[in-house]
Each structure stands twice: as C-alpha cells, then as structure tokens.
Amino acid sequence: MAKFTRDLGSYKILVIGAGPAGATAARIFADAGYEVDVFDQRPHVAGNCFDRYDEHGILVHAYGPHYFRTNSKELLDWLTQFTEWISGEYYVEAKIFERTVPLPISIATVEALHGKSYSEESFLEYLKKQRKFEENYVAQNAEEQCLQLVGSELYEKIFKNYTIKQWGHHPRDLRPEVTARIPLRINRDTRYPSETYQCLPKDGYTQMFQNILLHPNIHLHLSEKINSQDIHKMRTQYLFTMYSGAIDEFFDYTYGPLKYRSLKFNWKHFANTSFYQSRVQMNFPNEHEFTRCVEIKHVTKQSHSGTTICLEYSSEEGEPYYPMPLTKQEQLYQKYKLLADQESLKAEHPIYFLGRLAEYKYYNMDHIFLRSLNWSKEKLNTLGGK
C-alpha cells in the first residue's frame, strides 16, 4: 500500500486538545486515512463542553451551561453522524429586583419589567426615548454600545451591574463587542438563542465527543499535557500539528500572559425536588455575588426525583474561560499571532493554531466546530489526498 512507501511521519498528524476544535480535525483527517494522535491534559474528552453525572446521578455541564445552536445545516448534519438530538429548551430570565424578566431583550422583557403591555410601535417608541446615541454612531465601549442599542433603563437595570460582576470592569472600560452580541427583538420571542437549530445531544456532549473520536486511526491520550518543548521535540514525527491550547503558553509567555476571566462553580443538590427554578438559567444582575443560577435538568430533560443547580461566580483566578475584552489584551494577542503565523508558514512540520485559547477569542461551540471542519477540509485539499 502507498502508505508504507514513505516516512510514517508523512501520514501522522498531531492534535493538541480534544475539545470541539481538536476532535473535529482529528475525525476529518482520520476519515481521510491519516493516523492522528490526540492529546488532552484533562482526564476527559469534549473540552469545555464536557458533561458528567454528579454523585446524585444528575447530568451536569461541568464547565458552565452549554446550549448548542447553529444556523449551519452542514454542521448539524456532520454532528448527526455522532449523536441523536433533543430539542433545546433554552430560556433565560433575569431577576430585576421584585420582577422576573425574559432575556434577551424583547417586547416581553419590557412588559414584564413595567407590568403593562406594549405594541410593537410603543416598544419602538420606548426604545427611541431611552437610546443615548444615534444609529450611525460608532460605539467606543460596551457602555456606549448598550446605551445605543437598548437605552438607559435597560442598561442600568439589566446590563451594567451584571457586566461589572462578570468582567470585574466597568462597561465603559470594555470593548463594544461585549454587549454587541446581545440580540434585541422587536417581538415576543423569548427563546434565548436566535439561531435556526437549537438542540442538545440526546446522550450528552461527552458521549457525542467519544463517538467523534472513536475511529481506528485516532489514538487518544488523556491526562497528558503537551507543552511547547514537547511539541518541538515531537513535531518531526508528524506531517503537521494542530494546536488548540493557549497561544501565550505555547510561546512561553514571551510577551507576558494574556488575561482571562475565570469562573467558580458552587453546586447544590435538592432531593425530591423536580425543579428548583422555572427556567434553565436565572441571571442576577443586581443582587448576590454570583452572576447566574443554572439548573441544567431543564434542558437535558432527565427524568430524576431530585435536581442539581449551579451558582456561578466570576473570578480573576482559575481556569482560562473568557478572553478579556480589553484593547490592551487584543494588542498583546496580535503580537503572539505573528509568532503563530510564522509557525504555520514553516515548510516542514508546521503548527496550526485553532480554537478559543489558540486564537484568544470567545467563540460559541458551533463556530469552533465549523472553523475546524472547514479548515481541516481545506488542509486536506492542499495535501492532495493520500
């Protein structure tokens, strides 16, 4: 077979990380006949999408709630090879003093906040009065972005304190992208995401990732951290490396560490309680130290006599979760990116950086799945097949 007429290294690929970025690439190359070694420092697959059964038998999302949604039929079809789906009942509410309002902002939010009904016209009129900047103004920070989109009242009551708790910074010190992702609906649609497909793997994310990685050409190594020195030693055995770990760590923090926001989770179980709260997620902008309370059983639809909730506290220390939306950090990342570009342009044994840590960017998982899917397919084309 042609496979054995060249170096073994010509057909082996190294993948660091078994999250959405790494698992997708590994599968695409394995399906095309390449041998793929996948390493993850954690004892499990699925990256931050990892879910597990807690000691009470409740399926929980270990690194914060993960709501799968996408506009891409192509991605949905690709993932459907590895899982069946249940529909995603993603509803989020915020406790605003004595009132509970649905998010994202829609006519229903303002109705719940004011205790009276609005027509589409009166809602638009309300927004017009509240807004602080013209439509064509280019917002300079998250506060301006929010005041431009939803106006003063909603900013003050719903966004301002939540943002401060979440990021440890005032919205006026944060980049406009923080609040630019927030949808505004001129209707009463209270589903949290806006994407066409909203669903959840029927047997959980971990099972779906195990199925993606179950392939005779994929060799999975868990609980193995591979640092940059290891990669430089190993790289010559591989055609190329796909790295989805932290970019600053890879370059030994040459320009200093990139800042991340982390989370602390406080889990509580309630026996003989079907549900603790009315929706999967309740946000608390103005009270408590925690930002939100998540009861994932609402979306997993697990049948169990008890329930488990998770209180989320934002933290400066801990696992890197969210890249900090600060201009200085973006500039620092760009310096690392130049080094990463040099690695990926090497003619022999290049290293490619892909994923939320490798690109220092918050992506929803569908974006990462798709980026990895498209990148891997393009890479296969340049390899010219085997």
Ligand X SMILES: Cc1cc2nc3c(=O)[nH]c(=O)nc-3n(C[C@H](O)[C@H](O)[C@H](O)COP(=O)(O)OP(=O)(O)OC[C@H]3O[C@@H](n4cnc5c(N)ncnc54)[C@H](O)[C@@H]3O)c2cc1C
- With contacts defined by CB under 6 A, name the span among 14-22, 175-183, 325-333, 377-385 that binds ligand X: 14-22
Structure tokens at 5: 């007429």
**Angstrom distance (rounded) from CA 295 to CA 60:** 9
Nearer to ligand X, 21 or 174 (CB): 21
In sequence order, which ranges of the chain are alpha helices (DSSP H)? 20-31, 73-80, 107-114, 120-130, 142-149, 152-154, 161-167, 177-180, 205-213, 228-234, 247-250, 297-300, 327-344, 365-383
Least distance from ligand X to the Cβ atom of residue 164, Å: 18
Residue 35 · residue 11 · CB < 8 Å? yes
318: its two tokens: 């801990």
**Which one of the spans 2-10, 60-68, 120-128, 199-207 is the region binding ligand X (CB under 6 A)?**
60-68
Q: State the residue for tokens 């059983």.
A: 297
CB of 126 to ligand X, least distance (A): 29
Q: Which amino acid is at 362?
A: Y
Binding to ligand X (CB under 6 A): which residues in 314-343? 321-322
Cβ-based neighbours of 310, under 8 Å, separated by 6 or more: 60, 64, 65, 265, 266, 267, 268, 293, 294, 295, 296
How many chain residues are in contact with ligand X, going by CB under 6 A? 36
- By CB under 6 A, is residue 49 in contact with ligand X? yes
CB-based contact 54:60 (threshold 8 Å): yes
Among 293, 355, 373, 379, binds ligand X (CB under 6 A): 355
- Residues contacting residue 17 through CB under 8 Å, at least 6 positions apart: 38, 39, 40, 47, 243, 244, 245, 355, 357
Q: How far is the CB of 193 from ligand X (least distance, A)?
A: 8
CB of 206 to ligand X, least distance (A): 12
Neighbours of 282 (CB within 10 A): 19
Does position 41 bind ligand X by CB under 6 A? yes
Of 34 and 360, nearer to ligand X (C-beta) is 360
Nearest to 24 by CA among 337, 367, 351: 367
Residue 30 in contact with ligand X, rule: CB under 6 A = no
Stretch that binds ligand X, among 43-51, 123-131, 180-188, 328-336 (CB under 6 A): 43-51
- Quick note: the x/- pattern for ligand X over 249-278, rule CB under 6 A, is --------------x---------------
Q: Does the footprint of ligand X cover residue 40 (CB under 6 A)?
A: yes
Under the binding rule (CB under 6 A), the answer on residue 88 touching ligand X is: no
Question: What minimum distance in Å lies between the beta carbon of 128 and ligand X?
Answer: 32
Q: Please state, in angstroms and rounded to a whole number, the distance separating the CA atoms of residues 326 and 176.
A: 10
For ligand X, give the closer residue by CB, 41 or 161. 41
Using CB under 6 A as the binding rule, whether residue 245 contacts ligand X is answered as yes
| Site for ligand X contains 197 (CB under 6 A) | no
Q: Does 226 bind ligand X (CB under 6 A)?
A: yes
DSSP 155: I
Q: Is 64 in the site for ligand X (CB under 6 A)?
A: yes
CB 315 within 8 A of CB 263: yes
The answer to whether the peptide bond before residue 104 is cis (omega within 30 degrees of 0) is: yes
| Interaction of residue 48 with ligand X, rule CB under 6 A | yes
Out of 11, 15, 17, 51, the only residue in the binding site for ligand X (CB under 6 A) is 17
Among residues 171 and 245, whose Cβ is nearest to ligand X? 245
Shortest separation between residue 153's beta carbon and ligand X, angstroms: 27
Burial class (CB in 10 A: 0-12, 13-18, 19+), 82: middle
Interacting residue ranges for ligand X, rule: CB under 6 A: 16-22, 39-42, 47-49, 63-68, 225-227, 244-245, 263, 321-322, 355-357, 363-366, 368
